[in-house]
Amino acid sequence: MTGPRVPLAEIGFVPGVNVVWGASNAGKTFIMKALDFMTGAGSPLPDIEEIQGYERAWLEIDLPKSGRVTLVRSVSGGAFGSYEAGIAHDPDAEPARTLAADHRAKGESLSSFLLSELDVVDRRIARNQNSEKSSFTFRHFAPYVFTEETNMMGEWSPTRISAQSGDTFDRNVLKFIVTGVDDSAKQTTRSTDAQRTANLGKIELIDDMIAAAEDELARRWPDSADLEGQEERIADSIGGLQQTLSAHQLRLDELRRDRRAAVETATEAQERRSDIAITLDRFALLDAVYESDVARLQALEEGGAALLVGARRTCPLCGADPDDQRHAHGFDEIEVTQEATRAEIAKIRLERSDLRKAVASLEAERAGLSRRAERLAAEVAQLGKAIEATKPLEASSRLAYESLDRARHEARRGLAHLQSIEALRARRSRLAAFKPTAVARGSVSVGIGGVVGHELATTIQSVLHAWRFPGLPTVSFDPGSHDILINGKDRRANGKGVRALMNAAFKIGVLLHCRSKDLPHPGIIALDSPLLSYRDALTSRYGAVGADERQVAESGLNAHFYRHLLGLAETAQFIVIENDAPPFDLGDAARVTTFVGRQGTGGRKGFFPVSDPAA
């Protein structure tokens, strides 16, 4: 730990066995809490006098994938910084990444970072019999890694994650750790309390809907009790009005159809009159041509007659008598021409007579068409008046029909509103009679048992035998308490010191089981006061030593305990916090740190540097 005006406080550990022992109140338990704090614990560090002035806590760890990294965190809590190297103690250096303290936070968290190093990703643990689930986090590994003094000797199962987690969750966490199988496959069902709450919420919502619907009913349909009768009466009125409206509409359609036919006939007559007028104009031109042709032919005929009158006279040139004249001078041709002219005049007069007959016929037809057009115009005007007289009747009938239809629609809406209220009331009655369905106890398996429980108990038994636990006991796994039994006795039947040994053996047994099954485990075991049986009954705050604890203390178990840990030094890292020194020299492969306390001399005072009172 570092701060701007305080000396560096630090402690180092070797990969194998580490022992921190010494006087009380020297900071040994603080080390355990600090290790837990630096791996994501939500609870703050103890507010002790020695921590005043320190700002940052630093933890150097070796990870399977990332190698050596350093985590830094404010001593007041919050997020973590991560450096890809050993501890530098440089408060100004920017961390390579920032890790949230809460596993549920958006972005990367410390928990997800550490779990990814163990290839544990997106695992789900059932919290209860209904299989409601929570994500597995690194904090669920923590009780199997860091065991504080209170938990070490507690009467509760060593599987407990926290006082709030619940037995089902704790047992399912153990199952995942020792089997690698989580609860993602379990289907979630709502608890009875959740069902009741949801049902009450539905009833409350429906009550609000009923109240709102009744308020709208009273406001929009104040006479709602007679809505059905209103709807029937309006329907009868609409039925009679429909007949009247249909009759008016039929009459109006007939008048419009007749007027349209009269207009079309008048149009046809007018077009025929126009055609006749054009034809008469053309016939007038033709008659004029005929008259001109007749005049021209008559002039020609008269000229020939004049020529023939002077044909038998004395020649004006030579004076010869007609009988003595040798040339006829074309008199024969003149006579022929006269005859042809008279014939052509007769032909033209005949054609002109036919033309005049046609003109007379067309003029007569035109006069008839004019009279017909006048009659049709009068008929169209009369039909128009009839239509205009019928329109108000049809319009008023239609308006009355539309008004009644709107009233019927409103009555039907009111009836539908009443039906909706009745449906809501029926729904509320069904909800009021609702009874939640509970998951039958024992229908969903929780935690471990059977073969896995026996395997774990056997491994824990081998640990206790390696420690030469008195009597070389038989260890069994109790599925009911999810704890081990020693010779059939549960944890609460033993003294504090024996309970501490059972807890330590359990945590080491889980580690060894995971190693044998190639299952993920952080590979760190930190134990605070596992050898509590060796306490001094006169000076220890935990009081008298029970018979089972004296038997342990007299067996020399503490020596075998350390020898066993030394034998596992290649398997995991062990940190043991005790009040007494190991009974023998652990050798160079281990690290033993002694805290002599504030009043002690000749050694380290505690975790935090303290000036020597003798200096």
Question: Beta strand 17-22 with 591-595: parallel, antiparallel or unpaired?
Answer: parallel
Please report the pLDDT score of residue 551 as a whole number. 86
The DSSP bridge partners found for residue 594 are: 21
Report helix, strand or coil for 306.
Answer: helix
Candidates 598, 611, 495, 607; CA nearest to 553 is 495
Q: Cα(434)–Cα(197) distance, rounded to whole angstroms? A: 11
- Pick out the chain residues at pLDDT < 70: 88-91, 191, 241, 307-317, 320, 322-332, 393-394, 397, 437-444, 536-541, 543, 611-615
Please identify which residue in the block is written with the tokens 């059977």.
Answer: 450
Please report the pLDDT score of residue 265 as a whole number. 85
For 374-388, what is each residue's pLDDT tens digit? 888 888 888 788 777
Which contiguous run of DSSP H or E holds residue 149? Answer: helix 149-152
Question: Beta strand 483-486 with 475-478: parallel, antiparallel or unpaired?
Answer: antiparallel
Q: DSSP label at 2?
A: B
User: From start to end of 541-611, where are the E strands?
Assistant: 573-578, 591-595
Q: How far is CA 10 from the centre of its chain?
A: 50
- For residue 204, the tally of other CB atoms under 10 A from its CB is 11
φ/ψ (deg, to 5) at 32: -60, -45
Q: How far is CA 385 from CA 82, 252, 389, 394, 521, in A?
A: 98, 11, 6, 15, 103
Q: Cα(182)–Cα(122) distance, rounded to whole angstroms? A: 10
Please identify which residue in the block is written with the tokens 């492969």.
Answer: 589
3-state helix, strand, coil in the chain (%, to 5): 55, 10, 35
Q: Cα(331)–Cα(318) distance, rounded to whole angstroms? A: 19
- For residue 26, the tally of other CB atoms under 10 A from its CB is 25
Q: Which residues contact 462 (CB under 8 A, 6 or more apart)?
A: 509, 512
Please report the pLDDT score of residue 178 as a whole number. 92
Contact between 99 and 113 under an 8 Å Cβ cutoff? The reply is yes
- For residue 214, the tally of other CB atoms under 10 A from its CB is 15
Query: pTM of the prediction?
Result: 0.65
Question: Tokens at residue 479, please?
Answer: 């599925």
Contact between 62 and 35 under an 8 Å Cβ cutoff? The reply is no
Which contiguous run of DSSP H or E holds residue 18? Answer: strand 17-22
Which contiguous run of DSSP H or E holds residue 483? Answer: strand 483-486
Q: Cα(170)–Cα(160) distance, rounded to whole angstroms? A: 5
Q: Cα(301)–Cα(314) distance, rounded to whole angstroms? A: 24
Please report the pLDDT score of residue 139 as a whole number. 92
Q: Cα(114)–Cα(174) distance, rounded to whole angstroms? A: 18
SS (H, E, C) 99-126: EECCCCCCCCEHHHHHHHHCCCCCCEEE
- For residue 133, the tally of other CB atoms under 10 A from its CB is 19
Please report the pLDDT score of residue 582 as a whole number. 93
Amino acid at 457: A
Q: DSSP label at 50?
A: G
Q: Cα(448)–Cα(479) distance, rounded to whole angstroms? A: 7
Report the interhelical angle of 496-516 vs 167-179 (nearest 10°): 40
SS (H, E, C) 238-265: HHHHHHHHHHHHHHHHHHHHHHHHHHHH
Q: How far is CA 193 from CA 85, 270, 430, 433, in A?
A: 50, 93, 18, 16
Which contiguous run of DSSP H or E holds residue 61? Answer: strand 56-63
Contact between 126 and 136 under an 8 Å Cβ cutoff? The reply is no
Please report the pLDDT score of residue 439 as a whole number. 61
